[in-house]
């Protein structure tokens, strides 16, 4: 099984299935396709069905789209509890994951994942305030229900879906409640997340469109 991923510093979508594979101890190879450099988009289009990462290859089968990859892993490894075991919790987990996949656009656009950067206060709260409020309600409600440290107690794919939010909150020092702060700390403390972070911090590539200076210059 091979996962095609983007630069670890920036590729928030790649992080999600990578965390699932790593945390649940599923054997896989990884191959990085850079999101920068000469003809990077052309190379991505040639190597993937959608011109985007992540992509999972399992033998002849090629799966694009983060949610589809995670669902495939959950079905391929049914003993791993990638989603919560309880049917109601599983539905809640999938609902949260789908909401993350389809939404939070203001936060995603204004505050791209950039693990090695520190840009406290650079993201205007009037731009991302509604998304943060929704995260407080959604994640806060699930954490209250489970008692933490993860959304459904133990780490599941739902937490993998929100891991890049933890990264964004840290990079831009976005104010959140202590409940969400503790949750994001738990993600940062996860062995699999630390492994990704360690690799990301060693990268030196710049993906200009994911840098806050570039985003600010575009919105002026
Ligand atoms: N809907 C896709 C989104 C994937 C995505 O946007 N990946 C980014 C990297 S994090 C990408 O490939 N960007 C290249 C581009 O959009 O040209 C998914 O869920 O996997």
CATH of the domain at 10: 3.40.30.10
Backbone phi, then psi, for 176, in 5-degree steps? -135, 165
Per the prediction, the chain carries an average pLDDT of 97
Instruction: Give the range of the structural domain holding residue 72, as residue numbers without chain letter.
Output: 2-80
Q: What is the pLDDT of residues 47-80, one digit of tens each?
A: 999 999 999 999 999 999 999 999 999 999 999 9
Backbone phi, then psi, for 184, in 5-degree steps? -65, -35
Tell me the DSSP string of 136-150: HHHHHHHHHHH-SSB
Q: How confident is the model at residue 216 (pLDDT cuts 50, 70, 90)?
A: confident
pTM of the model: 0.97
Calculate how far, in angstroms, residue 212's C-alpha sits from the geometric centre of ligand 1.
Answer: 18
Calculate how far, in angstroms, residue 196's C-alpha sits from the geometric centre of ligand 1.
Answer: 18
Alpha carbon 76 to chain centroid distance?
Answer: 21
Number of domain units in the chain:
2
The predicted pLDDT at position 118 comes to: 97
Calculate how far, in angstroms, residue 53's C-alpha sits from the geometric centre of ligand 1.
Answer: 5
Q: Is residue 73 part of a domain?
A: yes
Q: How many CA atoms lie within 13 A of 34 on its CB side?
A: 11
Is residue 21 within 8 A of residue 73, CB to CB? The reply is: yes
């Amino acid at each position: 099984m091979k996962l095609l991923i983007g630069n670890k510093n920036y590729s928030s979508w790649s992080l999600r299935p990578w965390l699932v594979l790593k945390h649940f101890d599923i054997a896989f190879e990884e191959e990085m396709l850079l999101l920068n450099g000469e003809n990077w988009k052309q190379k991505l289009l040639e190597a993937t069905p959608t011109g985007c990462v992540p992509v999972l290859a399992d033998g002849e089968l090629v799966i694009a789209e983060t949610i589809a990859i995670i669902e495939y892993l959950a079905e391929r490894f049914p003993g791993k509890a990638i989603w919560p075991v309880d049917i109601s919790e599983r539905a809640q987990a999938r609902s949260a994951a789908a909401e993350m996949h389809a939404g939070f656009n203001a936060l995603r656009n204004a505050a791209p994942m950039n693990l090695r950067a520190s840009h406290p206060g650079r993201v205007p709260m009037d731009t991302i305030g509604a998304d943060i409020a929704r995260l407080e309600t959604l994640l806060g409600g699930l954490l209250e229900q489970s008692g933490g440290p993860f959304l459904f107690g133990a780490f599941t794919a739902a937490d993998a879906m929100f891991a890049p939010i933890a990264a964004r909150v840290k990079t831009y020092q976005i104010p959140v409640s202590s409940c969400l702060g503790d949750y994001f700390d738990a993600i940062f403390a996860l062995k699999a997340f630390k492994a990704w972070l360690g690799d990301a911090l060693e990268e030196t590539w710049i993906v200009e469109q994911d840098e806050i200076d570039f985003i600010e210059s575009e919105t002026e």
